[in-house]
Amino acid sequence: MKFKLPFNKKQPLLEKETPKEKESLVRVALTTDHFIQSIKSATNNPADLIIKSIPPNITLIYIDNLVDDQTLNNDIIANLLNNPQETPEAIEMTISIPEIVKSNLLQETVESLVNGSVVIHIDGYPQVLIGNIATRESRALSAPENESQVIGTQVGFNESLTTNISLIRRYIVSPNLCNEKLKIGTRTNTTISLLYMNGIANDQMVNTLRQRITDLYIDELLDSAVLAEMIDDNSLSVFPQMLLTERPDRFCDAILDGKMGVIVDGSSMAIICPQAFTEFFRSQEDQNLRWQIATFLRLLRLAAFFLSVYLTPFYVAAVTFHYEVIPQAFLVPLSESRALVPFPPIFEALLLEFIIELLREAGARLPTKIGQTIGIVGGIVIGTAAVQAGITSNILLIIIALSALASFTSPSYMMGNVIRLIRFPIIILAGFWGFYGIMLAFCFILIHLLRQTSLGAPYMSPFYPPRMKDMRDSLIRMPIPLTAKRTSLTRPKDKNKFEPEPVKPEKS
Amino acid sequence: MNKLRRYFIVLIPFAFLYGCIQTNILDKVGLTTLVGYDVGTEHKMATTAVIREVNPEFQSKVEVLTTENDTSKGNRMEANRKLSKKIMVGQMRVVLFGEDLAKDDLRYYIDTNLENASVNNGIYMAVVEGKTAPLLKYEYKNIEDIGQHIFRLIEQNVKQEYMISATLHQIAHDYYSVGKDLAMPIIKRDGELVELSGVALFKGGKMVSSLSARDSFYVRIVRDTFKVGLYEAVLEKEDVSSQILQKSTNKITIAFDAIHSKREMKLVNAATPEFDLDINIRSRVLEVYPDINLGDPKSVKILEKAIEKKMSKEIVRIIAHSQEVESDIFGFGEKYRSVVRHSNLTKDKWHEMYKNMKVNVKVKFVILRDGVFE
Amino acid sequence: MKNPIQLSPKDMINAYLLFFVVHGAQVGVGIQGFQRVIYQDARQDAWISVLLAGIASHIVTFCMIKTLEIYGSNDLYGIQQDIFGKWIGNLLNALYILYCFIAFFSILRNYIEVIQVWLFPSIGTWFLSATLLIIVIYAFTGGLRVIVGVSFFSIVLSLWIFPMLSFPLKYSVAESLLPILENDVRSILKGAHSMTFTIIGFEILNIIYPFVKDKKNVRKPVHLGLLFTTFIYLSVMMVSITYYSEGKLLKTIWATLTLFSFISFPFIERFEFVAVCFWMLIIIPNMCLYLWAAYRGAIRLVNIRGTTFVWLFSFFVFICTIIVQTRIQINAINTVFGHIAFYVIFVYPILLWILAILKKNFTSKKVHKNEQT
């Protein structure tokens, strides 16, 4: 029962192939007037198009605010005014900017123009010089807000592709770091970078990923999250199959593990794939802590996942159907706390969950300061009032709060959202068919997870297929000397991270 | 196929809603915590149920209802007619039997509880001196929930090993076993309190005799093994050698606890049958009156001997009593069956043999230590 | 040797996973209440019956692997077609599919009965059957990789139930096991025969064999899986015999579940209610594997798509679960199925092995002759 994907990934690049080709073959006009006219019509005569003539026969065309004014003034205009030249070759020598190319195609000229280049046309020559002096406004580097950690670097990606890549290059100083530039989006022409380590990353996987990206036929791409959803294996699944991160250290760690990374210009989140289910519960901080503590934290997070998903349903099932399983000591407080509640437990639980989700959503949409207040005030006031009004029982309130708290422990926000969502169907199943319903949901989720793949690699790895070596760094984290092998999830070309050495015990 | 699938997906939720089942929401049911069975006046049985209900005033109240009918389920229906909430038995903890009923036959009551999947196998069973209804209906000054109270009472005594343990599982185990008879605690009302007053001995499903609460210690020692427990014994003059006995008194009271006991049965003669019963007890002495110097190895030895003598005397007495009433609550028959090949033992056959059984009791008592003050 | 199965390595599984497949296919509904049936015949020596049945399963598996090795990469259906010819072979294949169908049905119906008795007496059979079938279909359509994965997780995630057996040990009386070998060999063997319904499942090997990557290493995981199953059955049997008295065990229908009855933790009591539901995870690989085995046979007979087949199959199972309503009917089916399974699983493979050897010698001689002339 394979569901059809909503957008066709394999659609070949047939669209407008022929007219485009013709268009791209249009040559640059010989005379300045013709040239200006053709540029204007190609760019729909925008208001910020600036055309500047410099004697004797030079015309500069650029788009305001896309080019760096200082470079334009100091390195181009000043040079041209000081030593007037007449041939493109001579001008190329005169101008002191690093990136300058010659072109005789109109299409290419227009594309560089909107990208932030200055176009220099010399009357009488069927060529233009394109000097790239683009400037991009971007936010300064700051700490990653969604993936903060106590111990570790405090820098996150920002929205500029070049900055992000330079950040990564700072971590991985190696010529083997491959950076492939791709453009997608017929209208947005978004630049994306595909990064991987040559000699580690599996070629087949790189090809698959490249293929998936180039096969996309979309007209806009504004964020990497959109891209991730479109290129992952099963877009219909609620579980994400690729990781989005804003931490360069995490990104580099993944790249060095043989994974592939995708960075989208204009997005502060990078995509990492292939990604296994358990890896979503890892935090980069685990690498920075001692292994015992990291293991404890990882187990805690997984326990929190189960607690968050199954605690409320368990309560609903026990109170609705299986009163036999409630221990005697717990029986009286539980039944007395529910004595006033007029609703069946399932409704009570759904109501409270709904309130919690409302608070969360409101908190996320409001400015930070108000958001926090809303969370606290809403939590305390609504909670207390609901219990006093007899709408909910206070024991359920504790359980719901606990499971909401547990869902925040997931280091990946995407996975946290999944936990938030899948709780609801399970509560409903528990409210209708008790433990049987919970078990149905459990089996369904298990099978669903088993069916997923991430870039063709099994999603439930390293548990299924069982790979003992990989388990050393999955739910638990063994000491670093024992984790010399790269995870086989990525089928790396070079399996060893380092020469496995004996564990260094304490020297006596 | 695709279209069919679409219809199918639409149909599923409706089907699921149709599949709803009866709920037992905790605060909407009356939880029976204790049931007492008596011989009825008009019908076969009278049932007294202690039912706990929760009302919206944040308080739980306890109802004690007596109904008469021919089956236990019929009694439940009858009780349902008198209460605002559905009665469920899943949280039942104790089943009590009136003395008359116990003397009749318990088989039906054991079976009906085993059959019901929602009844716990760990519920306690006990016999009430007289009838159960007055015991449960009496308005005790300090006991709010009589069901809870009796459960705690029995549980506490079983955990402390003062009383033999009689859960539904153990009762059924003994009842359906060829070589063992069941035994239950006896409880009665003592003024404003409820008291465990003894041990009821059964032959098959019939109660045939009873032992005093003090004797339950010996019953336990022979039936099971001990880990904790506290016991007090009075050593008469004839048990104790005169060396340590002071002139003024003619008996010694001694209390000991932290008992580790181990019993071993050995069939020495299958024809009679004849058993060797070895009991090893190690314990800590808590108090001795009048004072005996426990620092002196000699007097300790003498004391140990005296206790051994006293205990074997008591055990012999109890076994003799059980033989008299043909109730093998100690499981000698079980041992017989497991040792003698092709015995084809049946309960009746064993009861015949049990009467004439010979037991050689040997007790070994070791004082491990005494308290912190010598 | 015709009809060998050609597969790409992507569809294949590693040999060590057969441990989980074999064990997962064996343990299912049978373990919930097999004690009583065996105890009826073998009394306190029932554990010897379990042991004998375990040994028998090892012997049969040995023959199965031998047969399969003769053919290299082929399954039971292909072997039958080769040995018996097209018509008889296909008839046998159809019968084997029917056998898988009954096995599947019997597992499903028994589990539904348990749910109805322990948890929801009023719930409709059709509802339980439909929900379970949907889960099984979902797993099946994921392919063999997912089915094997479900078996794997079903075992790993239910390992924690096993230590629960130590709770009843508190009330166990070791003397119940004595005297050993009091009953005659016949009744012990009869007990072992009654184990059939519980111990079958390892015949999945016949079908899954071509899908194994490293066929040389098949033996070890399969026999380990059988050994583990026997060990679990044996321990459950031992605990049950010592925990129940003879009369009580004969009257307890689901002795294993009742064992859990008085287990209680500070946060949960009546553990068997959880166990009954959790059993779903244990029976799902059972059903998936039988369904898959039937599907492998069906594509040999007719040209049918997996999706079509699974819906058809489920539909018939669904109808059957609705028809069979009473405990008496279910018990009758279990008994009849146990008898059939005994011949299909314990007798037939040995026969097949002998036939395969004869055929091999015959054809090789023929080839030899042809070469000479």
| CA dist list (Å): C269 to A143, B32, C16, C264 | 49, 16, 38, 4
Higher pLDDT, A205 or B223: A205
**Mean pLDDT over residues A370-399, rounded?**
83
**C54: CB partners within 8 A, 6+ apart:** C199, C226, C227, C229, C230, C233, C234
Q: Is C265 an interface residue toward B (CB < 8 Å)?
A: no
* Residue among A321, A339, A344 whose CB faces B58 most closely: A339
Return the amino acid letter for A278.
T
Judged by DSSP in three states, C80 sits in helix
Q: Is C141 an interface residue toward A (CB < 8 Å)?
A: yes
The predicted-structure confidence for A210-236, as pLDDT tens digits, reads as follows 999 998 888 888 899 999 988 888 888
| Cβ pairs A/B, distance under 8 A | 66
**Does residue C154 register a pLDDT over 60?**
yes
Question: Which of A316, A323, A326, A388 is the best substitution to test chain B (most B C-beta atoms within 10 A)?
Answer: A323
Strands B86-88 and B94-98: unpaired
Q: Is B16 an interface residue toward A (CB < 8 Å)?
A: yes
Give contacts of C151 with chain A, Cβ < 8 Å: none
Inter-chain contact B334–C171, Cβ cutoff 8 Å? Answer: no
**Mean pLDDT over residues A464-482, rounded?**
84
Check residue B285 and give its pLDDT: 80
**Closest-CA residue of chain C to B264:** C175
| Cβ pairs B/C, distance under 8 A | 74
Check residue C304 and give its pLDDT: 87
Q: With cut-offs at 50, 70 and 90, classify the pLDDT of residue B254.
A: confident
Give contacts of A434 with chain C, Cβ < 8 Å: 119-120, 277
Higher pLDDT, B5 or C217: C217
Q: Is B27 an interface residue toward A (CB < 8 Å)?
A: yes
- How many Cβ atoms sit within 10 Å of the Cβ of residue A368? 10
**Mean pLDDT over residues B51-66, rounded?**
76
**Does residue C102 register a pLDDT over 90?**
yes
Inter-chain contact A344–B23, Cβ cutoff 8 Å? Answer: yes
Q: Tell me the average pLDDT of chain C.
A: 89
Check residue B59 and give its pLDDT: 64
Prediction pTM value: 0.90
| CA dist list (Å): B120 to A263, B92, B116, C118 | 60, 7, 9, 12
The predicted-structure confidence for C39-95, as pLDDT tens digits, reads as follows 988 888 889 999 999 999 999 999 999 999 888 888 889 888 888 888 899 999 999
The predicted-structure confidence for B156-203, as pLDDT tens digits, reads as follows 888 888 888 889 998 998 899 888 888 899 998 888 888 888 899 988
CB-count burial class (<10 Å; 0-12, 13-18, 19+) for A332: middle
Instruction: Report the range of poorest mean pLDDT among A361-375, B5-19, B190-204, C294-308.
Output: B5-19
* Residue among A326, A450, A458 whose CB faces C269 most closely: A326
Give contacts of B25 with chain A, Cβ < 8 Å: 319-320, 344-345
- Which residues of chain A approach chain C closer than 8 Å at the C-beta? 1-2, 321-322, 324-328, 330, 433-436, 438-440, 442-444, 446-448, 450-451, 458, 460, 463-466
Higher pLDDT, A248 or B69: A248
DSSP state of C20: H
**Does residue A9 register a pLDDT over 80?**
no
**Mean pLDDT over residues B48-58, rounded?**
78
Give the rounded percent of residues in chain C with a pLDDT score beyond 70. 98
Q: Is B105:B45 a contact under the CB 8 Å cutoff?
A: no
Question: Which of B5, B6, B21, B26 is the best substitution to test chain A (most A C-beta atoms within 10 A)?
Answer: B26
Check residue A148 and give its pLDDT: 84
Strands (E), chain B: 29-39, 45-55, 59-69, 86-88, 94-98, 124-128, 183-190, 193-203, 206-212, 230-235, 252-269, 274-289, 358-369
* Residue among C138, C149, C277 whose CB faces A460 most closely: C149
Query: DSSP string spanning C181-212?
Result: T-S-HHHHHHHHHHTHHHHTTGGGHHHHGGGB
Inter-chain contact A450–C146, Cβ cutoff 8 Å? Answer: yes
Inter-chain contact A341–B54, Cβ cutoff 8 Å? Answer: no
Q: Is C215:C65 a contact under the CB 8 Å cutoff?
A: no
| Phi, psi of A407, deg, nearest 5 | -70, -15
Give contacts of A314 with chain B, Cβ < 8 Å: none
* Residue among C175, C182, C261 whose CB faces B121 most closely: C261
- Which residues of chain A approach chain B closer than 8 Å at the C-beta? 1, 319-324, 326, 328, 331-332, 334-336, 338-341, 344-345, 390, 432-433
* Residue among A1, A344, A390 whose CB faces B25 most closely: A344
DSSP state of C43: G
Q: Which residue has the tokens 């053919």?
A: C71
The predicted-structure confidence for A282-312, as pLDDT tens digits, reads as follows 888 888 899 999 999 999 999 999 999 999 9
The C-alpha of A333 sits at a distance from chain B's nearest C-alpha, in angstroms, of: 9
Check residue C303 and give its pLDDT: 87
Chains touching C, CB cut-off 8 Å, 3+ pairs: A, B
Q: Is B84 an interface residue toward A (CB < 8 Å)?
A: no
Q: With cut-offs at 50, 70 and 90, classify the pLDDT of residue A4.
A: very low
Q: With cut-offs at 50, 70 and 90, classify the pLDDT of residue A8.
A: very low
**Does residue B2 register a pLDDT over 70?**
no
**Mean pLDDT over residues B69-86, rounded?**
81
Closest CA to B38 of B90, B103, B123: B103
**Does residue C33 register a pLDDT over 60?**
yes
**Does residue A122 register a pLDDT over 60?**
yes
| CA dist list (Å): A189 to A182, B73, B79 | 9, 77, 78
Q: Tell me the average pLDDT of chain A.
A: 85
Check residue B190 and give its pLDDT: 86
Q: Which two tokens stand for residue A417?
A: 């959202």
Q: Which two tokens stand for residue B103?
A: 């003397």
Strand partners, A184: A190
**Does residue B20 register a pLDDT over 70?**
no
Instruction: Report the range of poorest mean pLDDT among A54-58, A146-150, C97-101.
Output: A54-58
Inter-chain contact C139–A463, Cβ cutoff 8 Å? Answer: no
Give the rounded percent of residues in chain A with a pLDDT score beyond 70. 94
Check residue A18 and give its pLDDT: 45
Q: Is B54 an interface residue toward A (CB < 8 Å)?
A: yes
* Residue among B23, B56, B90 whose CB faces A340 most closely: B56
Instruction: Report the range of poorest mean pLDDT among B10-24, B261-275, C118-132.
Output: B10-24
Q: With cut-offs at 50, 70 and 90, classify the pLDDT of residue A105.
A: confident
Q: Is B26 an interface residue toward A (CB < 8 Å)?
A: yes
Inter-chain contact A1–C141, Cβ cutoff 8 Å? Answer: yes
How would you label A96-121 residue by residue, b for 16+ Cβ within 10 Å and e otherwise? ebeebeebebbbebbbbbeebbbbbb
Closest CA to B323 of B351, B361, B348, B346: B351
CA distance C60 to A270: 56
Check residue A16 and give its pLDDT: 44
Give contacts of C251 with chain B, Cβ < 8 Å: 114, 176
Inter-chain contact A328–B118, Cβ cutoff 8 Å? Answer: no
Q: Is B286 an interface residue toward C (CB < 8 Å)?
A: no
CA distance A304 to B362: 58
**Mean pLDDT over residues B328-336, rounded?**
86
Instruction: Report the range of poorest mean pLDDT among B52-56, B268-272, B314-318, C227-231.
Output: B52-56
Inter-chain contact B24–A336, Cβ cutoff 8 Å? Answer: no
Q: With cut-offs at 50, 70 and 90, classify the pLDDT of residue A193.
A: very high
The C-alpha of C94 sits at a distance from chain A's nearest C-alpha, in angstroms, of: 25
Give contacts of B180 with chain C, Cβ < 8 Å: 245
Check residue C277 and give its pLDDT: 92
The C-alpha of A345 sits at a distance from chain B's nearest C-alpha, in angstroms, of: 8
Instruction: Report the range of poorest mean pLDDT among A247-256, A368-377, C26-35.
Output: A368-377
Inter-chain contact A439–C280, Cβ cutoff 8 Å? Answer: yes
